[in-house]
Every structure is written in structure tokens, then in C-alpha cells.
């Protein structure tokens, strides 16, 4: 009987809105800054080839959020805190 191990993956949010193909059981852990880039960390079973598209978007403070916003992931403070971006998962 084999047990699938959980693995943590990192994705860099290069664009204001990105579709990332994740395992169906993937759990988004958080979003933070690493090397002056906004990244998210996701935990899922080791890659078995199954994926679903999930959309993530970054919004600056004070901007009206679209109705498609589903869940808050985290906040990234870039450029010494002068650029603050809030990361959300959106409905596809």
C-alpha cells in the first residue's frame, strides 16, 4: 500500500493576474515576498499529472475588488513597503 506524500510548491506571481495549474487537492498556504517578488506557496500530493486551473490576482491597497475574488491569500510589500499588493484567489 503506497501513501502519497504532501509536497510544498512555490509559484512566482509575475503578472497582476495568473492562471496556475494545480493538483485538484492543492491547498494554498500563503503569499509573501521572496527576493522582491510576490510568491505563493501551495501544498499538494506529489504530482500525479492531474491539474485544474486556478486564478490568482494581485491588487494594490485602495482598489475596488472584482466580484470574482474568492479568497484572500496574503499581502506582499515590495520596494521597502512603498508598493503593497494583496493576493487573492479568484473564481475561474
Model confidence over 45-71: pLDDT tens digits?
A: 866 788 999 999 999 999 999 999 999
Say whether pTM exceeds 0.85.
yes
1 domain residue, yes or no: no
Range of the domain at 27: 6-90
Does 84 have pLDDT greater than 60? yes
Q: In the structure, what pLDDT confidence band is assigned to residue 2 with cuts at 50, 70 and 90?
A: low
13 domain residue, yes or no: yes
Number of domains in the chain: 1
* CA 64 – CA 52 distance, rounded (Å): 27
59 domain residue, yes or no: yes
Instruction: Confirm if 4 and 45 have CB atoms less than 8 A apart.
Output: yes
pLDDT of residue 49: 82
pLDDT of residue 4: 73
Q: In the structure, what pLDDT confidence band is assigned to residue 3 with cuts at 50, 70 and 90?
A: low
17 domain residue, yes or no: yes
Q: Which three cell numbers stand for residue 55?
A: 486564478
41 domain residue, yes or no: yes
* CA 41 – CA 73 distance, rounded (Å): 10
Taking only the tens place, the pLDDT of each residue in 15-46 is 999 999 999 889 999 999 999 999 999 999 86
Amino acid at each position: 500500500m503506497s501513501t502519497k506524500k504532501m509536497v510544498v510548491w512555490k509559484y512566482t506571481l509575475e503578472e497582476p493576474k495568473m492562471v496556475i495549474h494545480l493538483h485538484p487537492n492543492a491547498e494554498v498556504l500563503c503569499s509573501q515576498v521572496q527576493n522582491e517578488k510576490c510568491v505563493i506557496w501551495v501544498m499538494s500530493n506529489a504530482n500525479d499529472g492531474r491539474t485544474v486551473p486556478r486564478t490568482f490576482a494581485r491588487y494594490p491597497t485602495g482598489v475596488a475588488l472584482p466580484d470574482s475574488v474568492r479568497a484572500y491569500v496574503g499581502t506582499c510589500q515590495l520596494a521597502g513597503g512603498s508598493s503593497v499588493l494583496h493576493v487573492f484567489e479568484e473564481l475561474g
